[in-house]
Amino acid sequence: MSAALPGVDSPGVGVPNQARLLLDLQRVNKIAQRLSGCLETEPLARMVTDGLVHQFGCAFARIWVVEPDRAMLRLVASSGLYTHTNGSFARVPMGAYKVGKIAQNRVPFLSNRLAEEAWVKDRDWAIANNIQGFAGYPLMTGDRVIGVLATFSHSPMAAEFLEVLQVLCMTATIALDAALQVGAQPPGAKHNPIARPTLSDQLAHLLSTTTMALVGTERPLLDSVSCLFLRLGELLNAFHCDYARLVYGATEVTLEAIVALPTPTGSGPEAAVEDAQQNDARPTVAHWRSRCRLLRFMATCLGGSLQTQPGPQQQLVQVLLRVPYSNDTSGAKVSIQCRTALLQAALTAMAYQAGLTVCDASEAEAVVITDSETVASTADRVLWMRVSPSSQPSPSVAGTLDWGVEADQLRRAVHQVQSGQPVEAIPFPSAPQPSQREREIIALLAQGLRDRDIANQLYISESTVKFHINNSLAKLQAKNRYQAVYQAAVYGWI
């Protein structure tokens, strides 16, 4: 069964938008995993369009590539309702129709009223085939557009689907660009393999003004993994990263960096105008947070993590991206169906660390991990996630997990459920009690505010904010602020 498009509710418990986005990005990763090693344009593009149809239930999906003269786009892949590439849209002039405009203007587009759009060539066709949704995204490498990806659906799409397409296009563009370069070689050279630049070479090119170091012996990476590091590299470069270190360890590759975020020049209307003028020429903190949120989701889907936290100086931010070399999906299958996006994301990342295969809710063989009574009462093999001491599982569950579960304990519990053995109980830690000020500060921290912003809002000093945050980290036994926010949510502080 194909998955529903983002934003289309499925039967059962509603999934928060953020959690649904995480599940959709996992589907994107399944598509991206297939692209590694392919250097032929048409088959590679067809893997992407086939994946959109099969993973997301699109009515059909297409990819056009820009021809060398930059005047036309050529259709190279079509999947779903139409599979031919020689119809009336086989060649689209740059700037013509919506596909040509997306290539020309480099602006993604989504509409759920396709038949009412003025640019649609045949509205009767859209009505007759019940095509409601259209989403298009430019395939860009640097400032250069190499093509356009377009999807059509029978059901409305949520705005978040553009974020899903953005992640897919990041990886697809890298693979397609390499394939197009191979295709552009002289006939006698086509069979000669291209030596792709290493990740450190590409990062050094992106971070040309950054002090960069390489530790360990480089090894080939999946396209999806390389794409994640390069997208982070682009973000670091936009904020004039001061330092970066790429580390190849025994099981994972890591990028450590230090970057200085811009600070407002003051307060009041005049400062706001000045900041707005400066922001025309430089990225904003809001841009940083938005991009980090998306990259953090990508890292989670690859079984890794992205952490950002303030450095020794307030304006500096320390960045740490860790991703395992391979995402082994041969482990036991689990379906994670939690009520909150935070718990959904945390358990998904842990499942990957445990070597488990994360599946959709429709997978019959999967062990279900949930904190929802409705889900627990309708599934056969359930691990109950107890988020508080008062949280009581359904009598039919096979075992109970607590928020302190670790990756090896999770893996063992899933195997015990599969084999019909009793699941070992994990003691629930006693709940730490926060002060009122600690509760207020953690709640503001969860909203993404910096120490200085929190201090201004509560009319206290930054040193006082840091003092209460450090106390909260100790009470929650958290290693960093991200973990503290998660555990604070579990304990009901926020």
Identify whether 424 is part of a domain.
no
Residue 247 sits in a domain whose CATH number is 3.30.565
- Domain match, 25 and 173 both: yes
What b/e sequence results for 418-450 when a residue is b if at least 16 CB atoms lie within 10 Å of its CB, and e otherwise? beeeebeebebeeeeebeebbbbbbbbbbeebb
- DSSP characters for 293-319? HHHHHHHHHTT-EEEEEE-SSTTEEEE
Cα separation of the two ends of the chain: 38
Q: Which amino acid appears at position 224 of this protein?
A: S
Q: 121: buried, middle or exposed (CB in 10 Å: 19+, 13-18, 0-12)?
A: exposed
- Domain final residue pick, 301, 324, 347: 324
Rounded to 10 degrees, the C-alpha dihedral 185/188/190/191 comes to -160
- Domain final residue pick, 324, 348, 369: 324
- Domain match, 253 and 297 both: yes
Q: Which amino acid appears at position 155 of this protein?
A: S
What pLDDT score does 312 carry? 57
Identify whether 192 is part of a domain.
no
Domain that holds residue 212: 199-324
What pLDDT score does 11 carry? 31
Identify whether 249 is part of a domain.
yes
Cβ-Cβ contacts under 8 Å for 60 (sequence gap 6 or more): 49, 53, 78, 79, 80, 81, 82, 151, 152
- Domain match, 293 and 215 both: yes
Q: Which two tokens stand for residue 426?
A: 């994990």
Task: Indicate the number of domains in the chain.
Answer: 4
> Angle at the Cα of 128 (from 124 to 129), degrees rounded to 5?
120
Q: Which amino acid appears at position 452 of this protein?
A: R
Identify whether 454 is part of a domain.
yes
- Domain match, 121 and 269 both: no
pTM here? Answer: 0.55
What pLDDT score does 407 carry? 79
- Count CB atoms within 10 A of the CB of residue 67: 13
- Domain match, 340 and 394 both: yes
Strand partners, 63: 77, 149
Helices 161-183 and 41-56, axial angle in degrees (round to 10) = 160
Taking the chain (494 residues) in runs of 10, the rounded mean pLDDT of each run is 42 46 74 74 90 90 92 92 87 89 90 85 85 91 87 87 84 82 59 64 85 87 82 88 89 90 55 41 74 79 80 74 71 81 73 77 81 84 78 76 79 88 68 84 83 88 89 82 76 74
What pLDDT score does 321 carry? 93
What pLDDT score does 135 carry? 92
Residue 126 sits in a domain whose CATH number is 3.30.450.40
> Angle at the Cα of 203 (from 198 to 205), degrees rounded to 5?
100
Identify whether 267 is part of a domain.
yes
Identify whether 188 is part of a domain.
no
- DSSP characters for 401-424? EETT--HHHHHHHHHHHHHTPPPP
What pLDDT score does 64 carry? 94
Identify whether 378 is part of a domain.
yes
Ramachandran angles phi, psi of 337, nearest 5°: -135, 80
- Domain match, 168 and 27 both: yes
- Domain match, 238 and 317 both: yes
What pLDDT score does 286 carry? 80
What pLDDT score does 186 carry? 57
What pLDDT score does 427 carry? 60
* Length of the chain measured in residues: 494
- Domain match, 349 and 391 both: yes
- Domain final residue pick, 324, 355, 370: 324
What pLDDT score does 269 carry? 42
- Domain match, 211 and 123 both: no
What pLDDT score does 2 carry? 39
**Comparing C-alpha atoms, which of 362, 371, 455 is closest to residue 23?**
362
- Domain match, 213 and 265 both: yes
- Domain match, 363 and 484 both: no
- Domain match, 367 and 247 both: no
Identify whether 429 is part of a domain.
no
d(CA 303, CA 353): 6
d(CA 143, CA 262): 24
What pLDDT score does 300 carry? 74
Cβ-Cβ contacts under 8 Å for 279 (sequence gap 6 or more): none
Strand partners, 334: 358, 367
